[in-house]
Structure 1
């Protein structure tokens, strides 16, 4: 076993460690540290090293608010601009054939998150599915998702879409190296949740990512997240003002600011944008005409998105998790009304009528959930199903405790069964008042479908494909079941809705989702 813990990559040898039935390697660099002159630049190749690099412990998380890098109560991971690393988990037993590869992209609103979180270990997926699992860090916050390229000068070049470029670089590393860990570079599935789900749909419309993966799973993806260069330029100027810089000193201001100063100014900009345009954030991919060339809705509708099999879906009560963050989603009547200012009043009235009880709390939260997660996912599923196998789901399972505290099947709860964490502390807490047997059933259903999809490009036979005819949707509950066109009235009501995120998806007046 000891000899199988040292693996030769194209950049140098790494030593992992054995943990029961798996082998694990942590914090392998996939790009050069983006520090100094490499701050604000696309990821550069790793400098090869001599000898054997220790890969038994996690290194740094991406720069973020300190609370975001919490691994467990009282434990914080170090944060640094030197963060471009990935992790690999593989079965301990050798295989005569290459294993499917699952690559996970964490969420956190492009503000917080780390691949070191125990929830994302991937060990249970590897043990159950005989696969190789990869997770990555990428640049977050202003260093990764605030497009400051409009501030570039001949002396100080600045690139766009840095976090997305980091993800592409990680996938290129997988193509170069995963065979050495027993994985199949010709059978790579990317999957992610929340902002990680947006990363998945964004990578599907990123030309340089084509060919680097072969299936995709987008969980609770705000798939409409993107903004145009004009917005980026306006926010860049505001950001420099918040840093205390001037137009003449902009490049110097963003170069000399510490990560803490950059983060503080980013949170101020974030709050301003979220209040002014509900549901819109400055930390999103930018349509730069080059690396990320077109609006995601347009790419999926015209077939220029990567035509790989896709699973996409959302949770039944996404927004209840965000009740304590009033600016996160448009879940209050005043923010919902502001959200509709850019669209036809008839569409506004039709949408509101589809949510009985509005402006009550439950109806308002349902609107916030649907406009952020469910509605964009339906739009992507409908468009992509014209070109490639597409499978849609909704996660409904909610143990009694989650229902009792008002969360239900809220945002990120499906991560517990997907990663097989029902018997860990977090899983046992959520089922403390009952539902443990249901959790096991949902875990088996989700993992078996995710693994089957990763192995052959389609889930189990009990899950029919999505199309614009019957709109079959797998409902993950205990037991799982298939619904046809769930919430049809809501789906039809959103036709024609225009927002800051929907540009390029449809012509004015053209229904975004077919009735």
Structure 2
């Protein structure tokens, strides 16, 4: 494995052509008075949003797509929100789902500008959508719009759709598409790992956060036309564990109808990140010192693994349960609640299933950043550790899984495109240039929400170079082109499909050297050979780790 890591890190790209980015001009700001078309009749009820005159975008925040998941509904599958009487106030952000964060994860999120809401803004009644609609869709002058549905990351333990970096107005305005973000359950609330719960939900799957994704797709398809959207052109896009959810969705919908017409998997191919974001235990949920029983015993519900224990856990106050998970993980980092293989929503053998083509045959855009692992080094100021972390873990967890996922889909005849993002702007690196294009660095570029200051320090102003704006606009345009026409949109931009050629497959390298260009290159034979060794080795390690942990 060390040899393949070295080979992969040393491999170069043989450029076969480069072009400057073609950047459309930004539409002029519109400061007219608010429009009256802010009320929409949805399956959840009539929702009143707002009109953002400066961007010509209509916005709705916090419309319920699922029912309350607290109380007797805790640790159960989400259900579609019932229609409500009166008018839903969709002018303000709704509550976030409860998060479970260690001090380390909080620091990483703060550094990247992902400060989640405080506990006072958490609720288990959190299954809500936020929608940004371009003016032309509401005026009826632009036809049915393509929809980009964002799935945020957070290692399946934390995250929220409410942070400013996920504001969809800029993307909706610039590309004339509908942008939707949504909240889903995390940690123990999404993946309880209870012997009782898993037996009760074996038929359709017990990873409830992943089932929330299915539910929001159903809601979006049912309501798309009411916002001027096209129910048949919904593209999922996301980052980190959000992308693992999208990738997992692909596998869970093999030989099943897909509500998503396109999939964009950014920095989160599930075959790579299952070791980092999934839970280590793959069975034996009833063992005395399981994750579930450890927490249940700590809050006074015991270890009986029966219905009485389950009912007790449903009655524990939300924040008491969060604190118990955090405390248990602080004592033993095996105590985490991520997805586990249920054979429905999450699987134990992703690399094998991918190689066999057992995924939905849906057009896919997949990629990663050049320096993913640097964010997770202990200290960004220790350049040597940062560089070594990148060499050791970026290929294993991100680059090679993205390559393998793209190659497997191309071989199966799925229209597939692959990218490598290399932008490393000052407001992201924040005085630590060795961080490069780290994990999450592409996300604010897609939304056009990168600030003129450090992501983690608003007091430290920076000057945004024109190249950064241009790259952001090009990425928005590419993602929107894919959403509008998943089969042909990117090809029409000059970005050829990933062709799985043995001499190297086509790859879009974005913002190399912080320049406003994209280079269409072919990865070398050495690069592909390195990953052909790396991916099977990583798969074996995941399996060994999971099997050992299941005996604990």
1:291 Cα deviation after fit: 4.6
The aligned counterpart of 1:191 is 237
Is 1:9 the counterpart of 2:42 in the alignment?
yes
1:324 Cα deviation after fit: 3.4
What does 1:356-367 correspond to in 2, within 5 Å?
362-367=387-392
Please list the CA deviations of residues 196-254 of structure 1 after superposition, one character each: whole Å capped at 9, or x if unmatched: 11111011122397421100101110512256641655433444345454322642442
Counterpart Cα distance in 2 of 1:483 and 1:445 = 18
The aligned counterpart of 1:122 is 168
Is 1:481 the counterpart of 2:513 in the alignment?
no
Contact 2:241–2:268 (Cα < 8 Å) also in 1: yes
The aligned counterpart of 2:415 is 389
Which range moved further: 455-464 or 157-166? 157-166
The aligned counterpart of 2:531 is 491
Counterpart Cα distance in 1 of 2:128 and 2:541 = 31
Counterpart Cα distance in 2 of 1:501 and 1:207 = 26
Secondary structure of the structure 1 residue equivalent to 2:218: helix
Gap runs ≥5 in structure 1: 327-331, 333-356, 505-515
Counterpart Cα distance in 2 of 1:463 and 1:102 = 20
The aligned counterpart of 1:452 is 481
Counterpart Cα distance in 1 of 2:164 and 2:238 = 15
Secondary structure of the structure 1 residue equivalent to 2:481: helix
* 1:418 maps to which of 439, 446, 464: 446
Secondary structure of the structure 1 residue equivalent to 2:94: coil
Counterpart Cα distance in 1 of 2:294 and 2:238 = 31
1:264/1:159 CA distance change after superposition, 3 Å: farther
1:376/1:394 CA distance change after superposition, 3 Å: same
What does 1:494-509 correspond to in 2, within 5 Å?
494-499=534-539, 503=543
1:501/1:419 CA distance change after superposition, 3 Å: farther
Is 1:399 the counterpart of 2:425 in the alignment?
yes
1:446/1:286 CA distance change after superposition, 3 Å: same
Contact 1:191–1:197 (Cα < 8 Å) also in 2: yes
* 2:466 maps to which of 413, 421, 437: 437
1:270/1:367 CA distance change after superposition, 3 Å: farther
Counterpart Cα distance in 2 of 1:361 and 1:443 = 26
Counterpart Cα distance in 2 of 1:126 and 1:238 = 45
Contact 1:393–1:475 (Cα < 8 Å) also in 2: yes
The aligned counterpart of 1:148 is 194
Counterpart Cα distance in 2 of 1:235 and 1:436 = 48
Gap runs ≥5 in structure 2: 1-33, 545-552
Aligned residues: 467
1:33 Cα deviation after fit: 0.2
The aligned counterpart of 1:235 is 291
Secondary structure of the structure 1 residue equivalent to 2:366: strand
The aligned counterpart of 1:106 is 152
1:149 Cα deviation after fit: 4.6
Higher RCO (CA 8 Å, separation ≥ 6 residues) = 2
Counterpart Cα distance in 1 of 2:325 and 2:148 = 32
Please list the CA deviations of residues 153-174 of structure 1 after superposition, one character each: whole Å capped at 9, or x if unmatched: 88xx997111011111111001
Contact 1:204–1:210 (Cα < 8 Å) also in 2: no
Is 1:323 the counterpart of 2:366 in the alignment?
no
Counterpart Cα distance in 1 of 2:64 and 2:264 = 25
* 1:467 maps to which of 483, 488, 499: 499
Taking structure 2 as the reference length, the TM-score comes to 0.76
1:247/1:360 CA distance change after superposition, 3 Å: closer
1:259 Cα deviation after fit: 2.1
RMSD: 3.4
Please list the CA deviations of residues 4-30 of structure 1 after superposition, one character each: whole Å capped at 9, or x if unmatched: 211111231111100121000010001
Contact 2:505–2:522 (Cα < 8 Å) also in 1: yes
1:19/1:495 CA distance change after superposition, 3 Å: closer
The aligned counterpart of 1:87 is 130
Contact 2:509–2:519 (Cα < 8 Å) also in 1: yes
1:164/1:158 CA distance change after superposition, 3 Å: closer
Secondary structure of the structure 2 residue equivalent to 1:147: coil
The aligned counterpart of 1:216 is 263
Counterpart Cα distance in 2 of 1:74 and 1:500 = 35
The aligned counterpart of 1:265 is 324
1:55 Cα deviation after fit: 0.8
Contact 1:178–1:185 (Cα < 8 Å) also in 2: yes
Contact 1:153–1:251 (Cα < 8 Å) also in 2: no
Taking structure 1 as the reference length, the TM-score comes to 0.81
